[in-house]
């Protein structure tokens, strides 16, 4: 039994894609992952202090973000990540309670049917209103050489890039 009476532990699911993540494919949400998430989606990765939100990501999402940053991959599988909100109840608005993931493993987890409910909205694929974005050259350098630069310079640069990225997301 998981936190708050949920039938599943939130840390069995990826914060970014919302899918069941087996132990060996789980990754911690590091500062680097938070920066990649912010660079790609234009929003901050948060809610790690909430009992209903996962504190891990899957290695697939992390690798896709890294590949996108390096230019080896055009985009992630989706343009809008999993949106987590506090559930109102466990009977019909709790993502963790709505899923039966017992007896699933790395080989058969593709058979899981994931809920799309108000407290946990599933990722949205790229489409006409959700374009594939390219990382800005300046952003790439800041993220890839972050150990050599101060955090303040990186945040200023990222905020400038996000302003540009957000303006390209507007749909007429």
CA 35, 38, 41, 45 torsion-angle sign? positive
Query: What is the pLDDT at residue 137?
Result: 59
Extended beta strands in the chain, E state: 26-28, 56-58, 83-84, 120-121
Query: What is the pLDDT at residue 158?
Result: 54
3-state secondary structure of 124: strand
Query: 26 forms bridges with which residues in the sheet?
Result: 58
Q: Find out whether 97 and 13 touch, Cβ atoms under 8 Å.
A: no
Q: What is the mean pLDDT of each run of 10 residues along the chain (172 residues)?
A: 70 94 93 92 84 93 94 91 91 86 77 87 87 68 51 49 49 44
Report the chain's C-alpha Rg in angstroms: 17
Give this prediction's pTM.
0.74
CA dist 15 and 57 (Å) reads: 5
Q: Find out whether 139 and 38 touch, Cβ atoms under 8 Å.
A: no
**Domain spans in the chain, listed from the N-terminal domain onward:** 10-134, 136-171
């Amino acid at each position: 039994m998981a936190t708050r009476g949920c039938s599943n532990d939130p840390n069995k699911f990826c914060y970014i894609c919302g899918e069941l993540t087996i132990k060996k494919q789980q990754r911690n949400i590091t500062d680097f992952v938070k920066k990649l998430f912010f660079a790609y989606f234009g929003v901050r990765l948060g809610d790690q202090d909430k009992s209903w939100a996962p504190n891990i990501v899957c290695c697939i999402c992390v690798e896709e973000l890294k590949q996108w940053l390096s230019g080896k991959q055009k985009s992630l599988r989706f343009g809008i990540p999993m949106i987590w909100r506090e559930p109102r109840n466990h009977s019909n608005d709790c993502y963790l309670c709505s899923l039966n993931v017992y007896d699933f493993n790395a080989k058969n987890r593709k058979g899981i049917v994931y809920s799309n409910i108000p407290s946990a909205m599933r990722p949205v694929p790229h489409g006409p209103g959700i374009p594939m974005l390219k990382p800005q050259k300046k952003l790439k350098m800041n993220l890839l050489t972050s150990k050599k630069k101060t955090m303040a310079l990186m945040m200023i640069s990222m905020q400038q890039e996000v302003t540009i990225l957000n303006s390209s997301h507007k749909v007429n």
